[in-house]
Amino acid sequence: MSTSRLLAALAVAALGAAGCRGGTAAPSADEARAFLREANDTILQLSHEASQAGWVQNTYITVDTEAIAARANAAFMTAVTRFAKDASRFDNVDLPADERRQLTLLKNALTMAAPADPTEAEELAQLVASMEGIYGRGKYCEDGESGDACLDIEEITEILAKDRDPARLRDVWEGWHTIAPPMKQSYARFVELSNKGARELGFADTGAMWRSKYDMPPEAFSAELDRLWGQLRPLYLSLHAYVRAKLRARYGDQVPAEGPIPAHLLGNIWAQDWSNLFDFVGPAGGARTVSLTDVLRARSVSPTDMTRYGERFFTSLGFEPLPATFWERSLFVKPRDREVVCHASAWNIDNVDDLRFKMCIDQTAEDFTTIHHELGHNFYARAYAGRPPIFRDSANDGFHEAIGDTIALSVTPEYLVKVGLIDRAPDASGDIGLLLRTALERLAFLPFGLVVDAWRWQVFSGQVTPDGYNRAWWELRERYQGVRPASPRGEELFDPGAKYHIPANTPYARYFLSAVLQFQFHRALSQTAGCTTLLHRCSIHGSADAGTRLRATLEMGASQPWPDALEALTGQRQLDASAMVDYYAPLKAWLDEQNTGAKLGW
């Protein structure tokens, strides 16, 4: 989870504080400062309580701990919602820049604004709960089956990942999408009510409200995403053409030679991650590589010791070691006596220095890298802990994940040699396979990372109406991803609702931003560290200069517009996807060789 409780609240937007939005008398600067003091103090206190309750709920799962955590979260989110809505009272008050920014961040805090009418606010809350419930209970029941015989999302995910029978893949793909039509009418009403709440706060619609939090006009943010995609699209087209040819070789005419790829054949429900195809699209006769998993197991490196490697990565950059309480209070292995949430997460319980880490660690290369990623969140949270609570967050919602992923990109063979886990780095002959494997996950995701919010922004603006939901969804998916549905999809269906973030109202552009930022960060820090190898072989481990630049950026938190934080880390004020292009340059050259004579695009 994010180390910022404020950010956590934004993802689910409390709906219960839709009352008075302030009186008619013009407020003063002193009133604005008093409001900010109250907001900062309350956010700090309630986030601490919610984090404590959330930690216990995650590490001691019972009905009671879930109820305690729910109450603490409700109190926190209701307060944040009230502050977010009341902040607009001070729009015309003359204030110093740092106080004005705190008010702006509060005002942009919501992902969903309830209308002032209490009846409509309650209806909106019920709609969201109902849609999330429909998704959460979603199963595909084949041939009249019911109960345990039906397939849930985990089972369908497993089938799409491993089965190679196209008829079976199409069946379960279509089956999962049957969960969504019952929520279509609710979603249309949700759009009406959430837009009404957004307009009451001065935004054109809910989509404009989301885009307003990026320190630029909403329309400029949309254009910025398209500009970044323009930088990445040639690389994506090369990967798409290569994978399409491999799928056609396997499935014949079910895959067109030059058109969009059938979505059900890409190894993932939403065709957003193609890494499950590596077993038959990977390069033939690839060079053998050292297995870090085998090394960790052979040396009996414990979960705690694996985490110590991650801590030493940061101390090698000049960061202070983790506090003793981190090692006393964190959860590193799955307990034998109780149920816990094993999903890896980093916590700052008091938003100061009660840093913790929760993960059921296995001795695998994947978990070794994940540890470095999660500790990135911990060190980020501690770096900005000296700021006012409203500023204790990342520069924008893409930064926190990007920092963790940036550190993970430095877990290279060269780094493993430096810390003594392997004797020597494998030669470059195996790099294409390694790059392709990560591209099937990271690069293949990017267009889908644009589609989800591009569709919603059109819906919220009224450009797309309920009678065209499905058509617009698939038009965008073909335009950006180059995929098509397994079968004709009419408007009686609601395929967007088969993606969790749609019924849950969770913004998605942050994931695209994070994917771009991590490579831009990695390239800049690698240059600062003096790395002269190919970018995918660079590690910033041991570089005091890179650590100084990184720490200065992390300490800013959300106190400055994100271009200022970006400039502090990279020297650039503009997002730049060319770093990802540089990282995958060797793969691009290899893909183009494989695609000789083939058409790129669809």
Q: What is the pLDDT of residues 461-479, one digit of tens each?
A: 999 999 999 999 999 999 9
- Which pLDDT tens digit goes with each residue over 72-119? 887 887 888 889 889 989 999 999 999 999 999 998 888 888 888 889
Gap between the Cα atoms of 234 and 576, Å rounded: 15
Residues 112, 194: contact at Cβ < 8 Å? yes
Residues 468, 495: contact at Cβ < 8 Å? no
Q: Is the pLDDT of residue 513 over 50?
A: yes
Gap between the Cα atoms of 481 and 446, Å rounded: 8
Other CB atoms within 10 A of residue 19 CB = 12
pLDDT tier for residue 281 given thresholds of 50, 70 and 90: very high
Active site residues: 343-344, 373-374, 377, 401, 501, 511
Distances from the Cα of 268 to the Cαs of 52, 67, 156, 179, in angstroms? Answer: 35, 34, 9, 17
Token pair for 136: 């959460």
Domain residue ranges of the chain, discontinuous segments joined by +: 5-109
- Which pLDDT tens digit goes with each residue over 384-420? 999 999 999 999 989 998 998 999 899 998 999 999 9
Q: Are strands 261-262 and 483-484 parallel, antiparallel or unpaired?
A: parallel
CA angle 277-282-287, nearest 5°? 145
Token pair for 433: 């396979």
What is the average pLDDT across 233-262?
97
Per the listing, tokens 């390239």 go with: 523
Gap between the Cα atoms of 279 and 439, Å rounded: 14
Q: b/e for 78-96, b at 16 or more Cβ within 10 A?
A: bbbbbbbbbbbbbeebeee
Where are the alpha helices (H) located in 163-271, listed in sequence order?
166-177, 184-200, 206-211, 218-251
Please count the CA atoms within 13 angstroms of the CA of 430 that sit on its side-chain side: 10
Which residues neighbour 336 within 8 Å (Cβ) at sequence distance 6 or greater?
none
Gap between the Cα atoms of 519 and 510, Å rounded: 15
Q: Is the pLDDT of residue 345 over 70?
A: yes
pLDDT tier for residue 287 given thresholds of 50, 70 and 90: low
Which residues neighbour 501 within 8 Å (Cβ) at sequence distance 6 or greater?
452, 507, 508
Identify the three-state secondary structure at position 346. Answer: strand
Distances from the Cα of 502 to the Cαs of 12, 234, 495, in angstroms? Answer: 12, 29, 10
- Which pLDDT tens digit goes with each residue over 137-163? 889 998 877 778 899 988 999 999 999
Helix-then-strand count for the chain, H and E: 24, 4
pLDDT, position 338 = 86
pLDDT, position 13 = 40
Q: For helices 544-556 and 509-528, what crossing angle results, to 10°?
A: 150
Residues 480, 237: contact at Cβ < 8 Å? no
Q: Is the pLDDT of residue 3 over 70?
A: no
Q: Is the pLDDT of residue 5 over 60?
A: no
Write out the H or E segment, with its range, that includes residue 451: helix 431-461
Rg (CA), the chain: 24
- Which pLDDT tens digit goes with each residue over 514-564? 999 999 999 999 999 999 999 999 999 999 999 999 999 999 999 999 999
Gap between the Cα atoms of 329 and 262, Å rounded: 48
pLDDT, position 487 = 86
